Every structure is written in structure tokens, then in C-alpha cells.
A and B are shown apart, each in its own frame.
Chain A
Amino acid sequence: MKRFFLFFIAFAFVSLVGCDDVDYPKRTDTEQRTDPGSGGGNVNTTVTKILIEDFTGPGCQGCPAAAVRAEELKGLYGDQLVVVGIHAGYFASPPGNPHVGFDFSTPDGEEYTKLETPLTEFPSGYVNRRERNGSIILKFGAWGGFIEDFRFEAPSMSIDLNVSYTDGDRKVDITTTTTALQDIPNATNLVVYLVEDNIESPQTFPNNVTQNDYLQRHVMREVVTNTWGEPLFTTAATIGESVDKEFNFTIPNDWNVDNMTVIAYVRDTDSEVILQVEEVYVK
């Protein structure tokens, strides 16, 4: 009996030691962790870049907090991180989105919510569509820590993304050269998004409060390819192999070209993991 009692005291002691009081919560080493890049019309990838797909909607109370977190991470990782806000699910369209005229959902975005198990909790996101604890669905608080888990991995693909735009006909021409930097065992597809940043729209906040001049960040406006992309390498790819692609799209008049970017990413069609991503301003 005495033995067991001692065991319990030991057990209690083990439990009691677990206690971390944090006095200064903000990290002091949060200077940008990569070079911000030169910007402009041409980028060539050399690191594994990260795509956060932030599923959101104007009716979603908790979603602005996720958008803030994405921007904080963008401030930290610079061009290594690409963020896209995908308006989809219950809070993107009526009745979950009560702000009439501000429905930015797309059929493609709705398809992306069903990639694993249908998304019903918002905000949620995918980070390179990689699995954490068996699931690609990550709440925003987990995004940063998860990026740290793989951001130093050697890139398996590079995307050379070139974008040119003509004002007169509002036409955007997109060319990509995608090169395998390692042997890749599965087929890969290239997906291209057109994204508009800082769209002013009403947004519901906690307590059902509406902010009318909220800026929706990095809104996915169009999937230029089809939903799941154009085939790049239809089986495997060997190191050094590359594929060129061309796309064009006419931007509707009510989209603000000055705030638009093109995002191109390569998805592994077997594992669904995003192997590489790149983003360039339209203008």
C-alpha cells in the first residue's frame, strides 16, 4: 500500500511540474526570414514556397482574425509565403453571408472545401495541402508552427512565372516554365488563380457587428485553369525535365487590376500536396 501511495505522490509531482508562465509572449527574432524578392513581372523559385488557402466569408465572425494572422505570417516569411482568401462555404453566400452584393464565392472554391472532408468550420485553411495529425484542415493558430515544420525542405519544383497585361483590352497573358528539381514519382498538375487584394466589403465581426469598409484580402477571383489544373507531367518527372504553359484571361471591368496578382502552383495529383507556388502582380 505504501508503495502505491508513493507512486501517487510521484504522479502528482510529475503533473505539477508542467507549468510555463510566459512573461514576454512576442518573439524578438521576428525579422523577415527570407529576402522579399525584387517584385515586378518575373519570379523564379528557389525555395519551397508555401501557399495558405484561407477559407473565409463576409458572414464569418471569426475569419478576420485568421486574415490578420495570415498577414502577420506574410510579414515574417515575405515572398516565401503566398496567401489566398477563398470565399466558400456557409458564410460566403446567403443566408450565412447577409451582406447582399458581396458574395465572392466561386464554384471552384466550393470544390476546394470538399478536398478532404467538407469544411463546415470557419475559419479554416490548408497549408500546401499537407497533412498535420492526419488532416489537411488547419485552424489559423496552427499555420505558423506548421510552416516551421517544412519550410527548409529542398524544393522539388521551380516555377518561372511571367505575367504581362495590356490596358486596352484588359487582357492578361501568363506563361510558366515548370522544372522538376528532384525526381517526382507522381503525376503533377499546374493550377493558376487570379487574385484581387483589398476588396472593400462589409464583414461580420464577433458580436454580429458589421464593419462596412473591411478590406477582403487576397480574394480568389478566378481559376484560370480548370479547377484541379492542367496536366504538367502526366506520370512521373525526372530531375531537370521542364514544361512550358500559356494562359490568358480578360479581366472584368469591375475588378481592380492594380490590386491583382496571378498565383500558379503545382499539385501532386496523388497526394494532393502543393509542391511549389509562385505569385506575381498583374501590373
Chain B
Amino acid sequence: MVLKHHIYNYIAGISLSLVCLGAFGQENAPPAPDLGQLHGNFEITAQYYNEDSLIGAPDFPERVGANAFLNLIYVKGNFESGVRFESYEPVLQGYPTNFEGSGVGLRYARYRKDELDITAGHFYEQFGSGLILRTYEERALGVDNAIDGIRVKYKPFRGVYLTGLMGKQRFRFENRVQNGDGRVRGFDAELNINELIPSLAESRTQMTVGGSFVSKFQADRDPLLVLPENVSSYGGRFSLTRGKFSFLGEYAYKINDPSADNNFIFKDGQAVFVSGSYSKKGLGITLAAKTIDNMSFRSDRSETVNNLTINYLPALTRQHTYNLAATLYPYATQPTGEVGYQADLIYKIPKKTYFGGRYGTTVSINYSGVNSLDTTQIPENNVSDSLKTLQGYTTNFFSLGSQTFFKDFNIEVTRKLSKKTKITASYVNFVFNNDVVKLSPNKGTFFTDIAILDVTYKIRPKHTLRVEAQHLWINSVPTKVDSTNLNVLSEGELGETISAERDNGDWAAAIVEYTFSPHWIVSVIDQYNYNNNNKDLRIHYVTGSVVYVNKGTRIMLSYGRQRAGVFCVGGVCRNVPASNGLTLSLTSSF
């Protein structure tokens, strides 16, 4: 009711502003008073669905699904206010299904004066790298965990940045946004040492330190367990840059937080992230490592998948862009426990050298690995644990467990051959433990090799043709388990072998894209699962699309097939059905 009241007031305010703007626009009067600015953006994706039993695309009785968003932001002086209308009539297939109807999905008012910045309503915030708090919107995945409440930012001194917040998180949408059960309270302080100490202002060494605290409250009505109603977490971080070197480090701790993610154990959680890099012209090296132990943090302990997450545990693996490498086996952080590391090197071989060629050559090499955390399960018959403390397991923090979750070695070479031709060749090797990450129903750890060739040819000014050819080879090995307690065994240990399958077999993909700048892009992509073990599923997933861009507006029309997939977080999974149909998307900003 209160929300409705606010919305009506808001709409009335905006309408009044528009009327006023129109009125003033027609007069030849003295300089108009500052009425502020209204800007925003609009996005709609609509899809017409065909039933396609071959790829398993289900019948969709309503035929058409559409997600639409309109953001309106009004700014006047120190004041800013925004509202987002959302519409899911009905929601697109593959999106979380708890989005339905049309209405207001976000609204806020913000006031900034001098060193003070106050937001009331919905806001997005991140403390450090997000290990204990990050709220964000990832529209493509249906993730939006904005906090609805109050945020205050304040700079009491030069170089001191303080943020305090409290509120509830956005959970679902049914004609209006609905918040989750728990409350989130947080505080963050960041000190920029070089700003704080004037004598260091010009120093070659730049340093910031920060600390944050986040607590959530959720009532405990559980009849079986004494659940903590207030769960707190805190973290510290630093960043140091000197010349070509920079270092980052962050540590986070969370007290007992029994949840569906950790199967209601009362163990505490920890996370560490460290990174060091060196960069100079033509060369960049980054080394990073992280460990996560029981760090899933949500404002509702019973929730799963992407719902009501308070923190964000970044994946320390390369985000691929080429189709087969990006879409078939993407790795997702396992919030219950993992140890990851990554090394990244980019080197530009100078032009007019033997290896660099006439225009220079860029080589990028990346390696990352993620293992289980080294843990020891406390047996269920351990009376002191199962009846009293419910710790679940013990761990050697930051030590690698025997199970490989994911490995990625990839190398990419980009070279301009002539004024008209640029070529990128890429090789990607994944080790993907599907038994843990569970992207497909098939068992085993998959070993894939992917080769990619990307050629861009400028036919004449404004006309560019780009062709990609990709191939993926796959093999798999089974996981071994102890048949008595079903624990996973490491290599060399004796146990029962779970069968392994080559998932969907080998794939080939080709893309042809023609760009007639600045307005038109026409492309066709074919993902061909030519080596599927099931001959009936040796299918071409072909999609053709036409894109028109004009200033702030982009319209895309595409038609084709999309594979089915499974999306899992922490052992809880959501399936994304296959689809076949026509998609229209329009984005526009003003």
C-alpha cells in the first residue's frame, strides 16, 4: 500500500515534469529555470516459440514470451530519482520462473550534497571484491539482488570513504517486486592512504586499505535446530600499486550460517583472494589465487541457486567469448569450498620483427585451475558432532583437495596480416568435472580440446566480413567412489568406478558475420553436434540474426534453435529448456 502510494507520487512527479518541459519548450521566454533532466533506457526481448521434439523444446501454449524493462532517471541538481518498470508477459523460457506480470521492479531517490550521499529505496552496492557483499543486476541470467532500504555514504575526511546500509533484498516479481525474508545491515570503510596523508600524495606507491562488516537477520522458527538469527561476516582488504607492480589482497570471515547450501552445518566460513600483477607496454602478467570455504551467504538460509545472495564469489577463471568455449562448459564457483589459482600473460611481439610481422602480433596465454578444498568429513556417528556442534567437516584452509573441479589452459594469437585482414587463432583445453559442476546429465570428468580460427576481412570501407570456425573434441574419465560411504576417492585409491560418458560428443561451429557499418550486422551461426553418441541428436543448432543500430537504438531479429542446458549452484540445479523460434529484441536509450 505504502509502495503504491510512493509510485503514484513518483509518476505524478514525472508527468508534471514532462508537462512543464513541454510547456516551456513552446515559449520564447527568458531563460527557463532548471527543471532537471529525464533520461533512461528501454529494452524488450520477445520470443515466439515453436515446439521442437527433436531438441526437446517443449510446447509453449502461450506461443510468445516477452521480458521488457523501462528505466527512467530524473536528475535535478543534487537530487536524483529513478524507477524501473518491468514486464514479464509471460516470462521468457529459461529465465527464473518467479518473474510474472508487469509493474514496478525498482525505485529510489538519491540526494548528494558535499561529502554526503543518501539513497532511499533500491540500490546496488559492493564492498571490496564482493566477498561479503555485492548486490547487482545480471539481466541475462535473471539475477537481481538489489537491496531495498537506506544507504548512506560519507567522506568525513579526505581519503576516508564510509558506507552504511540496511534493507531487505529483492527476491521475486509478481506484478511488483517482492522482497525476501531476511534483513541485511552493512558497513564499509575504505582509506586511501595517499589522499589521507598529504605528504604521500605524489608518492609512486599508491595504497588503499578497507574493512567491512555485514550482518543479516532472519527469524528462527525452526523446530529442529537452534538457528542463528543474526549471522555476521567481516572482511579486510588492501591494494598496493608501485610503478609497474600492483597487489591486491582480501580476506573474509563468516560465523556459523547453517543453510540449504551447506546442508545446515554450523561451521564458520572463510575466503581469501590475492592477486599480483606486472604491466608495461606490450607485456602484462597477472598471478592470482583464492580459496573459499563455506562462504555461501544469503539473506534467506533456505534459498538456493541465485536467489537472495548477499555476497559474490568471483570465478578465478577466464571468461571466454568464442562460442563453443564460452557456452558448453562454463565453470561456476562452488561456494561451499574450492581452491583456485590463475596465471595470465599477454605479450605483444613488436611489429616489423621476425615473429611480430609487419603489424605486430599479440600472444595471450592463460592457465587456471580449481580444486576441491582439502577437507575431512566428520563421520555421522561422531556423537559429539552430530548431536551437538554439527560442524560437518574440518579443513586445512588453502590446501588443495584431491578432486579437480576445473582446469583451463588457453592460448590466443592475434595478428594483423595486412591492412585488410586480421586473424586470431586460439586453442583452449578444459578439464571439467561434471560430477561436481553438473552442467549436463552425463557423468564423469570431461577433457576437451577446442580450436578456433577467427578471420576478419575488410572488403572495403564500412564493409567487413568476419568468419569463425571452431571445433571441440571431448573425452571423459570416470570418478571413483568408495562404495560404502559414497565419498569420492582420489587417483590410486581403490573403489567403485562410476561410468563416464563423452557427454554430447564432438562439436563443430561456424559463424559468418557481415557488418555494414554503422547500421547493419547480419550473421549466421551453426553449432553442429555431429558426433553425438545418439545419432538422432546429431543436430545443427542454426541461428540467423539481423541487427540494426542507429544512435542509441539497437534492434535485433533472430531465428533459430537453442540447446537445452542445466544451470547449477551448490548441487541445486535449474534446467533451461531447449527452444526453437523467432526472437526480437530492441534496446534504446535516451
A12-B187, A146-B221 as given contacts; A96 in contact with B441, CB under 8 Å: yes
26 contacts between A and B (CB under 8 A): A1-B115, A5-B154, A8-B187, A11-B164, A16-B232, A18-B215, A18-B231, A20-B229, A24-B226, A25-B225, A27-B223, A27-B224, A61-B572, A62-B304, A62-B571, A73-B223, A117-B99, A121-B305, A133-B178, A135-B172, A139-B303, A140-B260, A141-B259, A144-B221, A145-B223, A210-B498
Among B69-77, B288-296, B432-440, B456-464, the one that faces the other chain is B432-440
Q: Is the CB of A144 within 8 A of B223?
A: yes
Contact residues in A for B228 (Cβ distance below 8 Å)? 20-22
- Say whether A280 faces chain B, with CB atoms less than 8 Å apart: no
Identity of the chain B residue whose Cβ is nearest the Cβ of A124 in the assembled complex: B304
- Say whether A38 faces chain B, with CB atoms less than 8 Å apart: no
- Most interface-central of B162, B178, B180, B223 (chain A CB within 10 A): B223
Closest beta carbon of chain B to A35's beta carbon, Å: 17
Distance in angstroms between the alpha carbons of A112 and B36 in the assembled complex: 51
- Say whether B249 faces chain A, with CB atoms less than 8 Å apart: no
Q: Is the CB of B156 within 8 A of A25?
A: no
Interface string of B565-578 (1 = CB under 8 A from A): 01000011111000
- Say whether B269 faces chain A, with CB atoms less than 8 Å apart: no
Contact residues in A for B441 (Cβ distance below 8 Å)? 59, 95-96, 98
- Say whether B453 faces chain A, with CB atoms less than 8 Å apart: no
- Say whether B227 faces chain A, with CB atoms less than 8 Å apart: yes
Identity of the chain A residue whose Cβ is nearest the Cβ of B234 in the assembled complex: A16
Distance in angstroms between the alpha carbons of A149 and B166 in the assembled complex: 26
- Most interface-central of A4, A30, A33, A73 (chain B CB within 10 A): A4
Distance in angstroms between the alpha carbons of A120 and B488 in the assembled complex: 28
Closest beta carbon of chain B to A131's beta carbon, Å: 11
Closest beta carbon of chain B to A13's beta carbon, Å: 9
List the 10 closest A-B pairs by CB distance, nearest first. A141-B302, A145-B221, A18-B215, A208-B435, A142-B302, A18-B230, A20-B228, A117-B97, A11-B164, A90-B575
- Say whether A207 faces chain B, with CB atoms less than 8 Å apart: yes
Closest beta carbon of chain B to A113's beta carbon, Å: 10
- Say whether A100 faces chain B, with CB atoms less than 8 Å apart: no
- Say whether A15 faces chain B, with CB atoms less than 8 Å apart: yes
Contact residues in B for A252 (Cβ distance below 8 Å)? none
Q: Is the CB of A120 within 8 A of B223?
A: no
Q: Is the CB of B116 within 8 A of A139?
A: no
Closest beta carbon of chain B to A122's beta carbon, Å: 7
Residue of B164, B231, B390, B572 near A15 (CB, 8 A) is B164
Distance in angstroms between the alpha carbons of A33 and B224 in the assembled complex: 12
- Say whether A185 faces chain B, with CB atoms less than 8 Å apart: no
Q: In chain A, residues 28-43, which have Cβ atoms closer than 8 Å to a Cβ of chain B?
A: 30, 33
A14-B185, A21-B228, A122-B572 as given contacts; A134 in contact with B305, CB under 8 Å: no
- Say whether A65 faces chain B, with CB atoms less than 8 Å apart: yes
- Say whether B96 faces chain A, with CB atoms less than 8 Å apart: yes
- Most interface-central of B99, B221, B573 (chain A CB within 10 A): B573
Interface string of A68-103 (1 = CB under 8 A from B): 000011001100000000000011000110100000
- Say whether A118 faces chain B, with CB atoms less than 8 Å apart: yes
Q: Is the CB of B222 within 8 A of A26?
A: no
The tally of CB-CB contacts under 8 A between chains A and B is: 201
Q: Is the CB of A144 within 8 A of B224?
A: yes
Q: Is the CB of A4 within 8 A of B434?
A: no
Q: Is the CB of A11 within 8 A of B302?
A: no
Told that A15-B185, A139-B260 touch, could you supply 6 new A-B pairs with CB distance under 8 A?
A11-B164, A18-B215, A22-B227, A27-B224, A62-B260, A146-B221
A133-B180, A135-B172, A207-B488 as given contacts; A25 in contact with B226, CB under 8 Å: yes
Q: Is the CB of B390 within 8 A of A26?
A: yes
Closest beta carbon of chain A to B324's beta carbon, Å: 21
Q: Is the CB of B224 within 8 A of A205?
A: no
Closest beta carbon of chain A to B578's beta carbon, Å: 11
Q: Is the CB of B215 within 8 A of A121?
A: no
- Say whether B263 faces chain A, with CB atoms less than 8 Å apart: yes
The residues of A with any CB-CB pair to B shorter than 8 Å are 1, 4-5, 7-8, 11-12, 14-27, 30, 33, 59-62, 65, 72-73, 76-77, 90-91, 95-96, 98, 117-123, 132-135, 137-142, 144-149, 205-211
- Say whether B100 faces chain A, with CB atoms less than 8 Å apart: yes
Q: Is the CB of A24 within 8 A of B187?
A: no
A15-B213, A20-B229, A141-B302 as given contacts; A73 in contact with B224, CB under 8 Å: yes
- Most interface-central of A5, A21, A119 (chain B CB within 10 A): A21
Closest beta carbon of chain A to B201's beta carbon, Å: 22
Contact residues in A for B1 (Cβ distance below 8 Å)? none
Q: Is the CB of A121 within 8 A of B574?
A: yes
Distance in angstroms between the alpha carbons of A212 and B251 in the assembled complex: 42
- Say whether B108 faces chain A, with CB atoms less than 8 Å apart: no
- Say whether B388 faces chain A, with CB atoms less than 8 Å apart: yes
Residue of A17, A21, A135, A148 near B98 (CB, 8 A) is A135
Contact residues in B for A134 (Cβ distance below 8 Å)? 172, 174, 178
- Say whether B220 faces chain A, with CB atoms less than 8 Å apart: yes
Closest beta carbon of chain A to B195's beta carbon, Å: 17
Residue of B97, B226, B302, B434 near A26 (CB, 8 A) is B226
Residue of A96, A117, A145 near B222 (CB, 8 A) is A145
Closest beta carbon of chain A to B17's beta carbon, Å: 31
Q: Is the CB of B181 within 8 A of A20?
A: no
- Say whether B193 faces chain A, with CB atoms less than 8 Å apart: no
Closest beta carbon of chain A to B502's beta carbon, Å: 15
- Say whether B443 faces chain A, with CB atoms less than 8 Å apart: yes
Q: In chain B, residues 302-318, which have Cβ atoms closer than 8 Å to a Cβ of chain A?
A: 302-305
Distance in angstroms between the alpha carbons of A30 and B224 in the assembled complex: 6
Contact residues in B for A19 (Cβ distance below 8 Å)? 215, 230-232, 255
Q: Is the CB of B438 within 8 A of A61?
A: yes
Q: Is the CB of B264 within 8 A of A141?
A: yes
Q: Is the CB of A208 within 8 A of B438?
A: yes
Contact residues in B for A95 (Cβ distance below 8 Å)? 441
Distance in angstroms between the alpha carbons of A77 and B116 in the assembled complex: 53
Q: Is the CB of B156 within 8 A of A208?
A: no
Q: Is the CB of B224 within 8 A of A72?
A: yes
